[in-house]
Structure 1
Amino acid sequence: MSRTVRFETAGGPDVLQYVDEPVRDPKPDEVRIKVKAIGINRAESMWRNDQYIEPVKFPAGLGYEAAGVVDAVGADVSGFAPGDKVNVIPSFSMNQYFTYGEVIVVPAYAITRQPESLSFAEAASVWMMFVTAYGALIEDAKVTDGDFVVVPAASSSVGLAAIQIANMAGATSIALTRSAGKRQSLLDAGAAHVVVTDETELVDEIMRITGGKGARVVFDPVAGPNFAKLISTLSFQGIAYLYGALDERETTLPVLEMIAKMVSVKAHNIWLTSGDPARRNAAVEFVRKGLESGALKPVIDRTFSFDEIAEVHRYLETNGQFGKIVVTV
């Protein structure tokens, strides 16, 4: 038997329940894993509320990331064997697979060997954050020397990943935060510049930093009415990526300014990268090289135990963390 987190109706953290379920054998293209750590993502809170990019099928599980040890492999699986340390890369629907459990079964394409330098907790934290940022900044925008990259909600796990990846590519990162208390932490995390949006006029400050040219890329999980200001920070033919909607208010666009500057606004999520085998492999290789060189580093805000799942989600929704929340099993 395995303790698994399930929920039968959408709602707050208290809808999450522990259920004892039989451990099933993996199908031919699946792998069974004894979980050691789980990475927690904002997507899972939205999923729990049935406000994600696809509707939930109840009763539901949840979770995209995990690190653990292979327990069994399906008949058609090669390259992995019981005892291997592996990580789960988000690349499936939570209606089909999930990671909040003591023992889980996932598709073989969704796992990769754990980087040797990382603990289970660190390994559970890296793949969603780095692959999401990689997909926009490296795969699509191809940021490079001389580019400025604006990162709103910079203290989130994906925001910190974007800072590190921009730096790794030779670009200049501009981290945005509402809290002056996070300024030094963001500088320590590698941000070249930090703009405290509650203290500074955003557009003027970014134009000052960029010498009046504006930033080539904005990588935004917030949206809402302030998104128009981010458009104003872009350079001619700049790109704004939207990969979240933390601000649930209407997102407005300055259409004439967009036409004048010929900017692009692109919706983004991890699936464009992780859902394609070639792109997924390229992303994994990029992240591995970054981890090995020290250019990319896990940033863990806080660790909880598996017995505290409801508290984990309550903490997630305070939006106060700096980096990743991880659950140990």
Structure 2
Amino acid sequence: MKAVLMTASGTPDVLQVQEIPKPTLKGDKDLLVRLKAAGINPIDTKLRQRGTFYPDQMPAILGCDGAGIVEAVGSGVQNFQVGDEIYFCNGGLGGHPGNYAEYTVIDERFVAKKPTSLSFAEAAAAPLVLITAWEALYDRGNLQAGRTTLIHAGAGGVGHVAIQLAKLQGATVATTVSTEEKAEFVRQLGADQVIFYQQTDFVQATLDWTNGEGVDLAFDTVGEPLLTQTFPAVRVYGDIVTILTPGTDTEWKVARNRNLRVSLELMLTPMLTGMVEAQQEQARILRQCARLIDEGKLKIQLTQTFPLAEAANAHHLLESGSMLGKIVLEC
């Protein structure tokens, strides 16, 4: 089969299409999947730049997000059959092969039926951002109806899903954007307050919007220095969730003085630690999101697709910044 191999860490040019053996079923719960599309996420470009979590296992196949059709099932598979259309977030961290390929093998416990209303490309754009936003807002931030939230980079992959999930929970949403095009996009998703962060002090704008109190929950999808800058925009005893690692230069004084609860979100943890129950919970999130998508309550913005052979070009585009929505490889 054809697969995009990461031959070393470095520029996008280290991604090379090669012929490798087709994977085979190993466990009785395994599914052999004919991949139709693979999502591209910032974690892919970071691993390509610095090396994977398993540097002794090279070359590697990147790509956590996938969507495809079940072609064979193990003897113990109970919930799927040949021909089922599925989507999932699994592999691609340097150990278990990822989804920049024509085939993959995955445990049935870690997948969900693809939303019927989405194409394979749209479905492949969804899993990592759905799980990240869901865990960040609902599990870490405990977002409830009637509360206010500030979501940074609302037009991005995680941000545009987070806006919708917050609105579905009954929250009021402010979000930061850089252009009028992105402002219109997030308004269509339900954002109540749009802040042009390049032209406006987002902290002051947030305080004005909340009558000087600050939001109940802030969601940082960007990282430092934005994390530190966001602390004064959160109400006393409020919550802030970040999907990036706080830097050694993070200034915690304001967060401490405001008694903020700071939470870290990394949806990759179950894969990295082999936590089967947690991976099953993430599959449950995908099932719930599939229902919301098919009911027209949740949308995935797919901005551009590339053929598998152009994975390097896709990485170049993602690293150029200011992306609206998601990029996908069609396998």
* DSSP 3-state at the match of 2:50: coil
Pair 227,280 (structure 1): closer, same or farther in 2 beyond 3 Å: closer
1:265 aligns with 2:265: no
* DSSP 3-state at the match of 1:229: helix
- Measured after TM superposition, the shift of residue 76 of structure 1 is 2.4
Contact 1:65 1:127 in 2 (8 A): yes
Structure-to-structure mapping, 1:200-239, within 5 angstroms:
200-239=200-239
- Measured after TM superposition, the shift of residue 118 of structure 1 is 1.5
- Measured after TM superposition, the shift of residue 181 of structure 1 is 4.2
- Measured after TM superposition, the shift of residue 109 of structure 1 is 2.1
Q: Which residue of 1 aligns with 2:133?
A: 133
Question: Structure 2 CA distance, aligned partners of 1:110 and 1:91?
Answer: 11
Q: Which residue of 2 aligns with 1:39?
A: 39
My pick for the range that moved more, 196-205 or 273-282, is 273-282
My pick for the range that moved more, 111-120 or 84-93, is 84-93
User: Would you say how many aligned residue pairs link Structure 1 and Structure 2?
Assistant: 324
1:159 aligns with 2:156: no
* DSSP 3-state at the match of 2:125: helix
Gaps of 5+ in 1: none
Question: Structure 1 CA distance, aligned partners of 2:113 and 2:290?
Answer: 10
- Measured after TM superposition, the shift of residue 302 of structure 1 is 1.0
Question: Structure 2 CA distance, aligned partners of 1:290 and 1:272?
Answer: 25
Question: Structure 1 CA distance, aligned partners of 2:31 and 2:280?
Answer: 20
Pair 277,311 (structure 1): closer, same or farther in 2 beyond 3 Å: closer
Letter of the 1:10 counterpart? S
Contact 2:140 2:241 in 1 (8 A): no
The TM-score, its normalising length taken from structure 1, stands at 0.91
- Among all aligned residue pairs of Structure 1 and Structure 2, give the percentage whose two residues are the same amino acid: 27
Compare relative contact order (CA 8 Å, sep 6+) and give the higher one, 1 or 2: 2
Contact 1:316 1:325 in 2 (8 A): yes
Letter of the 1:226 counterpart? L
Question: Structure 1 CA distance, aligned partners of 2:249 and 2:90?
Answer: 27
My pick for the range that moved more, 267-276 or 66-75, is 267-276
Gaps of 5+ in 2: none
Q: Which residue of 2 aligns with 1:301?
A: 303
Question: Structure 2 CA distance, aligned partners of 1:287 and 1:170?
Answer: 16
* DSSP 3-state at the match of 2:199: coil
Question: Structure 1 CA distance, aligned partners of 2:20 and 2:37?
Answer: 19
1:146 aligns with 2:185: no
- Measured after TM superposition, the shift of residue 285 of structure 1 is 3.8
Structure-to-structure mapping, 1:1-329, within 5 angstroms:
2-28=1-27, 29-50=29-50, 54-56=53-55, 57-90=57-90, 93-244=93-244, 251-255=249-253, 257-271=254-268, 275=275, 276-277=278-279, 279-329=281-331
Letter of the 1:312 counterpart? A
Letter of the 1:302 counterpart? Q
